[in-house]
Chain A
């Protein structure tokens, strides 16, 4: 912008002339340069996003129509095969099983995260200040723990030999758990993964919900108790309506995060045992990069994106509409 302001007067006039001839002195081109400014400011961000996000997305679509296995990759061959990848994926039982599993996995996690997170948020509002600081500290610590580090820690907590969890369960009288192999079964592996995800996701919900409750005017509770409302009634008629937009928005975010929980599922047991804990992103990765069926993996990835869009479509529409109204 500085450049435009300091340009010699002859320059802009020439530009204006070549641009249609109706030059009205130096004012117009300056206004035009001003009109261009926002686009120039946006250019780097838009260009970077288009190249490094848009292009992989398009490329993913292109790859999904190719027969691309180890041979084609090494020899740099491009073999188009139309909708074959999609036909094969959609007609395979595995894909639908993994899809159902992903949706159930997301639902269980999100329900647990939202219910427990909300309860802890409400508890925070009720605690005295010292206990609140203590609990907030615990929440922040769990929140800050890097995901990859937490998965290795959970592997250690649930380790078959010398793992703390097995020791506690055995001491509590469940002696068959003494050397239990958590990674040996589908449900027990999922139990560990869900515990891990719920543990690391609760702080976000609880802390934000607590912050939101502090904005509810006290008068509303006073009025409610004057009307004879008990604690539950106060919760449903004052707290909940206030929290509703927040709860919707958070649920939406959690659905996206949990559905894409590649890191936790992959690092804890690589989708095992026997590929029984693969969710869609892990399935796409193992088919594509692991088994080197890159075209097939891309088709699964595209379908995964479509399913995620379908799952979030309802809320996405509301968010976009809200944003449009506000702008």
Chain B
């Protein structure tokens, strides 16, 4: 099909404008984090940071309990994702491979659980954790995050398990493997990409979780990064350099993970979407 010059040019122009609009906030965060304060509070914005400074990162890292909060965030996120993967894989296997009464009900139950309005349940969660005397502990956070990402993990993995041909498993069992061995040696290696993409989304959810962490873990020592970031902004007020440095530190792991794994993960997710 022939298109006029204008017809060929305008999509590219729009794409460039959109690209700038989409990327600018992320660019501005990183650029501000590296700019000397004089360049941040200037009447005309300094678009490209030629003078690079690490002083804002130092301010952020020197904030009270910063190291502790990084460790808290990593601990809670990694444990929640690992537990969800293990528990989810067991259920995914049952739902994808076995026929039993109530199977449909379980799947629908988990689909509904996936839509649970956690943001609205924080008060009830707070009262439960308070009565159990577990405020400012990482255990409740880990458990709630695990359950938060479990339905998605389980339903996605179900698709991946279903996509592994049953014959592979059966032939392994004919060759003398038990069902467990067949699972470990045949299915599990084939599930690796699925496990990776599922854990990416679980990781993002747990790393970002804000309302529950905000209410349950108020002590500096027990805070996680997302609950700390807005309070850091309040405390440091107009120190935008430090605030952007803190945001950058918080965002970089996810940005890197996402940009590098995205193609694989999204491809994996669509593979996994094949229903079992």
Where the two chains meet, the residues of A that have a C-beta atom closer than 8 Å to any C-beta of B are 1-2, 5, 35, 37-39, 41-42, 44-46, 48-49, 51-53, 55-57, 59-60, 63, 73, 120, 123, 126-128, 131-132, 134-135, 137-157, 159, 161-162, 164, 167, 199, 202-203, 207, 211, 225, 256, 260, 262-263, 266-267, 280-281, 284-285, 288-289, 294, 297-298, 301, 304-305, 308, 312, 319-320, 323-324, 326-327
Please give me the residue from chain A that is nearest to B230 by CB atom: A267
Q: Does B66 contact A (CB under 8 A)?
A: no
- Are B251 and A294 touching (Cβ within 8 A)? no
**Residues of A contacting B110 in the complex (Cβ-Cβ under 8 angstroms):** 45, 49
- Are B41 and A123 touching (Cβ within 8 A)? no
Q: Does B217 contact A (CB under 8 A)?
A: no
Q: How far is the CA of A126 from the CA of B238 in the complex (A)?
A: 43
- Are B29 and A149 touching (Cβ within 8 A)? yes
B105 to chain A minimum Cβ distance, whole angstroms, is 10
Q: How far is the CA of A41 from the CA of B100 in the complex (A)?
A: 12
For B, the interface residue count at a CB cutoff of 8 angstroms equals: 92
- Main DSSP-derived SS at the A contact region: helix
Q: How far is the CA of A154 from the CA of B247 in the complex (A)?
A: 11
- Are A304 and B117 touching (Cβ within 8 A)? yes
Q: Name the one of A53, A150, A294, A305 contacting B147, with C-beta atoms under 8 angstroms.
A: A53
- Are B244 and A138 touching (Cβ within 8 A)? no
**Residues of B contacting A143 in the complex (Cβ-Cβ under 8 angstroms):** 258
- Are A146 and B117 touching (Cβ within 8 A)? no
Q: Does B69 contact A (CB under 8 A)?
A: no
Q: How far is the CA of A87 from the CA of B41 in the complex (A)?
A: 51
Where the two chains meet, the residues of B that have a C-beta atom closer than 8 Å to any C-beta of A are 1, 11-12, 14-16, 18-19, 21-23, 25-26, 28-29, 32, 40-42, 44-45, 87-88, 90-91, 93-95, 98, 100, 103-104, 106-111, 113, 115-117, 119-128, 130, 143-144, 146-147, 150-151, 154, 178-181, 204, 207-208, 210-211, 215, 226, 229-230, 233, 238, 240, 243-244, 246-248, 250-251, 254-255, 257-259, 262, 266, 270, 275
- Are A284 and B244 touching (Cβ within 8 A)? no
Known: A147-B210, A289-B122, A289-B126. 7 other contacts (CB 8 A): A42-B95, A131-B12, A140-B262, A142-B22, A148-B208, A152-B233, A162-B45
Q: How far is the CA of A167 from the CA of B46 in the complex (A)?
A: 12
Q: Name the one of B11, B116, B144, B208 contacting A146, with C-beta atoms under 8 angstroms.
A: B208
- Are B128 and A59 touching (Cβ within 8 A)? yes
- Are B147 and A52 touching (Cβ within 8 A)? yes
Q: How far is the CA of A107 from the CA of B196 in the complex (A)?
A: 35
- Are B11 and A126 touching (Cβ within 8 A)? yes
- Are B127 and A63 touching (Cβ within 8 A)? yes
- Are A263 and B15 touching (Cβ within 8 A)? no
- The 7 A-B residue pairs whose C-beta atoms are closest, nearest first, are A144-B258, A60-B124, A138-B22, A41-B94, A262-B119, A38-B94, A52-B147
- Are A1 and B180 touching (Cβ within 8 A)? yes
Q: How far is the CA of A39 from the CA of B101 in the complex (A)?
A: 9
In this complex, which of A144, A167, A256, A298 has the most chain B Cβ atoms within 10 angstroms of its Cβ?
A: A144
A/B interface sample: 11 pairs, CB < 8 A: A1-B180, A123-B11, A123-B14, A135-B22, A138-B18, A139-B22, A146-B250, A148-B208, A202-B22, A256-B115, A327-B103
